[in-house]
Copies of this chain bind each other. A is one copy, B any other.
Amino acid sequence: MGRRPSNKPTSFDIAYLAGVSQPTVSRALRGSKSVSLATRQKIEAIARQLNYTVDKNASSLRSQRSNTLALLFFEDPTPDESNINPFFLAMLGSITRHCAHRGLDLLISFQKLDDDWHKRYQDSHRADGLILLGYGDYTAYEPRLRQLIRSGTHFVRWGSVDDGTIGATVGSDNFGAGRLAGEHLLARGRKRIAFLGQADSHYPEFEQRYAGLAKAVVTAGLSPDPALLVDAVSSEENGYHAARELLSREAPFDAIFAASDLIAVGAMRALSEAGLSVPEDVAVVGFDDIPAAAFTSPPLTTIMQDIRLAGEALVESVLAQVEGRPGNPRVLPARLVVRASSGG
């Protein structure tokens, strides 16, 4: 029964024990250089001995800095509770680690696209900045982004980096990646490449992936066939149905470029049910390199985004804004991971 259990010590207690004033304790523990080595060490020793921790709320209230970022996930289609987009989960890992590296706390939250999430965060001082991660229909949350900007909330968005977007944005080189996928398939002799994914402006990332593919096709002297373009948002179910739709169109095709791995996985199931074999009849390339991609049969050729770099870029971008610097847009390279589904 040495010490009373939950009598959380304050900086006053330490000040008293160290024989200094309370502000000095604050300075010492925060590493201000205007406190002598001797007193700092004495203070640190006492603090350690008392198991003292700075009160996060008091500190944040006073300094108007929470040293916390909020990570908001948006998902369009899935009403399924626990089934989160695996790519975003990988991103989450990268972001948390980078936050830890920078001494930041990370608040996370899942949002419906049409919720009033922005109100929770603007001016509440929960977080110094927001990281927005979402695949969904861009137009659905675009007005809310304007709201955030108006209220002076710092945020960065993961998504398509182009002129039309609003606020700081970090994203992969979707166009380049699409082109990469196209060139890969063309190099393997495929001539009629279908695209599964929403290729309109509501889904700018998918749109750019398609644009890259089209560019590769055109460059090869071929012309893209609109019949090979099937809408799908990112889920296995949608991929399955999109592939069936494609099959029903009876336009010949010898390859599929899916806008996401989930779509690709669903599509491969549909192909297999239709008696088509991958990659002999149809080569398949996905996007994201989710963990399951290595375990499909055949294993899925896909585009790997640089997740580590992405997490870092996102965190640094918000941080820059918090510190008054501009959060410049950033395009990250993506690379092709060749597996069996595209014929090696």
Contacts and interface: CB of A to CB of B under 8 A. Distances in A.
A100 B260 CA distance: 28
Contacts of A126: 56, 105
Interface string A271-299: 00000000000000000000110111100
Contacts of A308: 81-82
Nearest to A111: B100
B66 A57 contact: yes
B292 A5 contact: no
A308 B81 CA distance: 8
A8 B296 CA distance: 52
Nearest to A5: B152
A57 B125 contact: yes
B86 A291 contact: yes
A96 interface: yes
B107 A106 contact: yes
A12 interface: no
Interface stretch (A23-31, A46-54, A205-213, A244-252): A46-54
Copies in the complex: 2
A51 B5 contact: no
Nearest to A115: B100
Interface string A35-56: 0000000000000000111111
A94 B107 contact: no
A53 B123 contact: yes
A51 B119 contact: yes
Interface in A68-122: 68, 81-84, 86, 89-90, 92-94, 96-97, 100, 105-110, 119-120, 122
A14 interface: no
A240 to B, nearest CB: 13
Nearest to A297: B297
A66 B97 CA distance: 23
Contacts of A265: 295
A100 B109 CA distance: 7
A61 interface: yes
Contacts of A124: 53-56
In the complex, the 4 A-B pairs of residues with the closest C-beta atoms, listed nearest first: A6-B152, A57-B61, A8-B123, A57-B60
20 contacts: A5-B150, A5-B151, A8-B123, A51-B122, A53-B119, A54-B124, A55-B125, A56-B66, A56-B126, A58-B61, A81-B93, A81-B94, A81-B308, A84-B89, A100-B109, A107-B108, A291-B291, A292-B295, A295-B295, A295-B297
